[in-house]
Every structure is written in C-alpha cells, then in structure tokens.
Structure 1
Amino acid sequence: MPNRKRTTLGVVHVTATPPGWDKGAAGIRAIHKAQGWSDIGYNEIINPNGQAEIGRGKMAIGAHVAGFNSISYGLSMVGGVNSSNRPDFNTIKDAQLVTLEKRMRELSADFPDIKWCGHRDLSPDRNGNGVIEPFEHIKACPCFDVIPWARERGLPVAEIKGTWKTIIVEPASAPVLEGPDTRTAYLQRLLVRGGYVLGPIDGIAGKKTIAAIRAFQFSSNLTQSGEFDAPTVARLRAVFELKTAA
C-alpha cells in the first residue's frame, strides 16, 4: 500500500455508524472492505471510549476524502448519526473530543506542515464565491465546524473560508445564515437549481429575481406576489433543497 510523500492536511471525520456501535478499527475495516475497498479508509479512528486506534496506518495513503488522500491524514470519530440515521453531533462522546484534540496536537508536531479541517470543508465551491457554505456540503461529516473549533484551541487550520455561524431559522421555513442578503442569495440559488433564470446570485431581489419568483409561484399554484414569502420559501425548499447525510 503506497505511503504519503507529504502531509499538509488533516481531515476530521465521523464514521456514520449508529449509536452503540463499538467494534473498533476491525469493524470499520470490515465495513469498508465489504464496500470493495482494499482496507479501512481512515488512517486512525477514535472509539466511543476515547481510545485512539490506528486504521490504515500513519503514513499510508487513505481513502477518506476524494482528491486529497495523497496529502492528508484521516482521523475519524466513531459515531455521527442517530437512531434515525440522521447526522447528529450529540452522538460524539466527550472522551472522543478530548482525544481528538490530543491527537491533533500530536499529529501537528509529527507533521509540521499539517493544517486541519473537517470533511465537509472540502466540498466544492459550487457558486465560486470563495466560501464553502452549508448548501454546498456534500456530506454533513463530521457534524461540526472543525476549523473554528481547532483555531480556538491554537491548532493550525486550513485556509478555507466557511459559513461558521449557526443557522437560525426565522420564520420556520426561511433559512437565515448571516443576514437578509445571504438568505436571499440562498433562495436565489434554489431558483437557479430549479432551472429559473434570474441573472447573478447577488442577494438582491431585483427585476429578474422577482420575475423568476413569479414564474415559480405560477408553476406551483401559489399567489404570484413576486416575493420570497413563507409559502414560496417552503415550496422552494421542499422541491430544490438538497438533503445531506453524514
């Protein structure tokens, strides 16, 4: 199995195994090999009791994040989904987070060029604005924002811009990330995803955006207000919002 020639990225994961699953690296290896992989994908895992366990190997090229495996170390905590198989950070134990920080510090000493991030931080920047936003996440993994978490602890972090603020839902059908402009831009993206032409995604509800909203409302049998009102937002999200999984 080939080894990395350099390690410039550390990627934090969760295994997306259900609550109570505790079969260690051998169990994850069995799951991954059953999927046709040559070995466990992660370089290392952290079990629910906080014990770290080597997976594929410290220097091995892993199979944990497409496009970055040759330069990255994959460190995964067991857990990440609840009994309904939905992403849930509450499934991660305090002991795992203590070990995670400890191992990140040790690996940062072992690999002086390493920078840390979460798996979802490496999602493609689909709208090209230089920020990895929640709607762009390919996966929820590892169910929390690693970059600000690591930065607060003095750990080296990857130079990736993201939307770190907690998503506030107000009203219940309208995602508000950092302000009204961001909300409008998000809803504009949903319209574009549905094939509606509205010009630049700029967070401004101008003439083209209003026309696209009315076209969507017409096709959805909604009142053609030309505004992102509650029924329109609810319908937009139900039809065009991509659901993510860990």
Structure 2
Amino acid sequence: MPSDPFTQNKTALLALGGHRVWSLMVTLFGDLAQEHGSTIDGPTLSAVMAEMDIRPEAVRVALHRLRNDGWISSEMCGRTGLHALTATGHHETTQASARIYASPAPPSESWRLALTQDAATSDDMIARGFLTLLPRIYLGDVSTRAPSDALILEGTPAPDWLRAEISPLMLDPEYAALLPILQKVEQTMQRGMLTPLQTAVLRCLLVHNWRRIVLRHPALPAALLPDDWSGHACHKLIDTLLARFPRPTLSVILPS
C-alpha cells in the first residue's frame, strides 16, 4: 500500500474515474499553459503524465487527437517538441476557467423561475444558465437572462422540498464522492512538501475532478440548494487547495 500522502491522494483522485487521457491533457494545459505564448515541452509533458501512471503510447494518441481537434498545436525546437493551446483551445479554456477557478460566491437568496412557451427551447435555456426543473419550467440566478417571451417569476424563500429535489439535479452524489478525498488532501498535505512535478500533478487531478462536475450544471444561488449540498464544501476546499499549491513555473517542473 502507498504510504506517503502524495501517492495516497493521487491514487484516490485517479480512482474516481472519468479520466480520459485527452481530457486530462486539456485540464493540464488549461491549468499550466493558459497564458498566450506558453508551451509545454515534450519531456515535461511526458514526466507529468507518467507521474499520473499514463503510458507513453496513450499520451501520443491523446496529443494526436487534440491536434486533429484543433485544440493543441505542436512544433519542433531542435529535437524537442513544444505543445501549446491553439486560438480555439485558448478561447474555450478561458471560458471554462471563469467557472472552474471562480471563488465561492457569497450566499444569495435571489433566484427566478422561468416558464417558456415551447419545451424545444430547453437547450437554449441550459446554455443561458438555467436548470431544467420540469419541461418548460426552469430555475436560475436572478441575473440569468431568459428569452423575451418567457414568463419570469421572482423567487420567494424556497421550501425545503424544492431544495431537496434540486440537489440530485446538481450532481450531489458526484460531489459527495469527491468531498472526502478533498478533505483528506487538505488534512494531510501542506504547502512546501511537494516537488514542482508533484504539484503540477496534484493540481491537474484536483482541477480535473472538479471541472468534470462543475461544468455540467448551472451556478445556482444558495437559496435553491440544501445547506448540506456537497458542492458547497467541495468548492471551498478546491479554492483553498489551489491557493495552497500555486501552479509551478513550467521551466522547473522537470527535475534537472
């Protein structure tokens, strides 16, 4: 059994599942190389992925896919490959980062219910930031913009039964699975105890497990969620841990 805290926590984060190599790579570039002009060289990328127990052939396949998708560009500098986000990859990463790295919002009691004329507008309402409660009925933050022909009702204090019904729609079981692992990381790992390579790996796994949940539901005000909704605690811990382990400089990740 692994004994050091880094290995234990890395193993627990990897065990949550949902870790396609190309998706992990998207998280890694979004966390370490989002600034314009930033590149990750081949040896550094290989070292980070190897520390996450990913085989070299899987890394090559993932890079090939992301290049074909127009997400990552690669070029040679001498005998070393340099990889960077494309304009498309950078744009989509920046949009997602606004949600992924947002600090926990102060509790808000303001919300709204929207009733639309046609159930076919569901995709549009979700894109606007609403949660589908029932066909044609949506819930959202008071600032969420609805179509001009929608009926808007400003929310009164939400009853407990409604908040309980919303909780599973906001992926509470998945947050509940992540929460004890984040708590373990917070309890067992302190700033300064990791190498730059380990820090890059830990951040990637923290951000990846967080983003694969948080990007799948809208940001609803606390008034619509139970006090014990696991997403609240996960958000606070992610914010704490990313501040505790700031992203390392790319040039120092690979041991010399």
Taking structure 1 as the reference length, the TM-score comes to: 0.26
Higher relative contact order (CA closer than 8 Å, sequence separation 6+): 2
Greater helix share, structure number = 2
Taking structure 2 as the reference length, the TM-score comes to: 0.26
